[in-house]
Amino acid sequence: MAKITQLYKTPEVAEDMKTYKEKLFRHRAGIGVKGLAGLVVVVVLVFGMWSWSQYKTYTTYEVLSSNQRTDTLNTQYAEYNGKILKYSRDGISCVNLQNEAVWSQTYNMQMPIVDVCENSVVVADMQGNEAYVFNENGLRTQITTLLPIQQVSISSQGVTAMLLTDSSVSWICLYDADGEKLTEARCKLSETGQPLSISISSDGIKVAVSYFQIQSGSSTSCIVFYNFGSVGGNFVDKIVASKIYENTVIPRIEYMGDSICAAVSDQGVIFYEGKEIPEETAMTEVTEEIQSVFFGANKVGLVLEGTGEGEENTRYEVRLYDASGAMVWNKGTNLAYSQIKMSGKDMILFNENECEIYNEKGVLRYTGSFDGSIADIYKGSGLRNYIFVFSDRTEEVKLK
């Protein structure tokens, strides 16, 4: 009988395959662990670089682009949806960063004042009788008043509130985006006092007014809220809320959106909130003299005289509050600024030759000087990008 030779040992092959699969699994698992570890390292490095960049103070910058300008000496500037508004006694124009005109309008005004809300812009002649309303496409309407214009405030839809004043009576007038008068409210100075400040909500329905009176030798302020919508029709003179503050002067009131309003007094900031009927929600008190006031997206900033909390030998203290009245941060500075503003989430203070820029956390992002006379500064589109408006040119720069 022929002898049969066993060519394969099945049990051994199965054992070898099992071992092979285990090694393959460990190999793939090792690659996965290494890959995951590498990814973690990359994420940590990126986060670390981002954090370092967020808290780094820059003192130099590189110019990404520069465009020459030939503006008149009395030209003023305002930020407008990533573009620049240039206005003077002779006219107003909207230009892009290349100084190319998007739209323009000529006029003759002695003292032009401007207000911006999202896509809407109004320019009016203070103590005059003319106002022009614009949107992103240019001129929307022209408004002519019988009484001198004291203040203007515009909503996002182009509804414009005007404070008109003569010797004994003031009027709060609302005009739609086409220039048609919607409604008006009469303010007799002997009863309400002198109106100091006016602001319309972004939805174009509510108007806040600060009045000032002197009674029995003491100063008294009254904040009045008008509702020109359906709710206001149920109230006398459309006044849905009011409050008197004795021994107080409130020279500035500002709506920050549809429902949040802030009034700045000589003693601090008062906050109100309400979609239809505003109510006082918070009050912050200050003992130092207020030098300047500025507003941002749901933020109110004050510049106080003297040494700031936690700072030594500073000329000013800058405080930033949120809409709830909580202080977000405060910083001391010695910069002899001529302008202070919010641009995006950044706070910028500058004079003709120097500037300081702080981010939303209160970190000093940039401090430095310029070779030319600077007229305005805006936050650019990049993390470290800014727009510098000089007297003769516009530069887009990147901090480095």
310-354 pLDDT tens trace: 546 789 999 999 999 999 999 999 999 999 999 999 999 999 999
Nearest C-alpha neighbor of 117 from the set 80, 142, 91? 80
pTM of the model: 0.83
140-178 pLDDT tens trace: 999 999 999 999 999 999 999 999 988 888 999 999 999
CA distance 289 to 265: 11
Residue 354 belongs to a domain: no
CA distance 345 to 301: 12
What are the distances in angstroms from CA 186 to CA 168, 205, 214, 236, 250?
Answer: 11, 17, 20, 12, 20
Specify the number of domains making up the chain: 1
pLDDT averaged per 10 residues in sequence order, the chain, 400 residues: 47 62 67 62 51 75 90 88 93 91 96 96 97 97 96 97 90 94 86 91 96 86 94 92 95 95 96 96 94 94 76 85 95 95 95 95 94 90 91 91
Residue 270 belongs to a domain: yes
Model pLDDT, residue 69: 80
Residue 76 belongs to a domain: no
Residue 85 belongs to a domain: no
Q: Which domain holds residue 121?
A: 107-285
Residue 306 belongs to a domain: no
What residues does 197 pair with on adjacent strands? 210
Q: Looking at residue 315, what DSSP letter applies?
A: S
Q: Are 177 and 140 in contact (CB under 8 A)?
A: yes
Residue 394 belongs to a domain: no
Q: Which SS3 state, helix, strand or coil, does residue 214 take? A: strand
Residue 38 belongs to a domain: no
Residue 67 belongs to a domain: no
- What CATH number does the domain containing 117 carry? 2.120.10.30
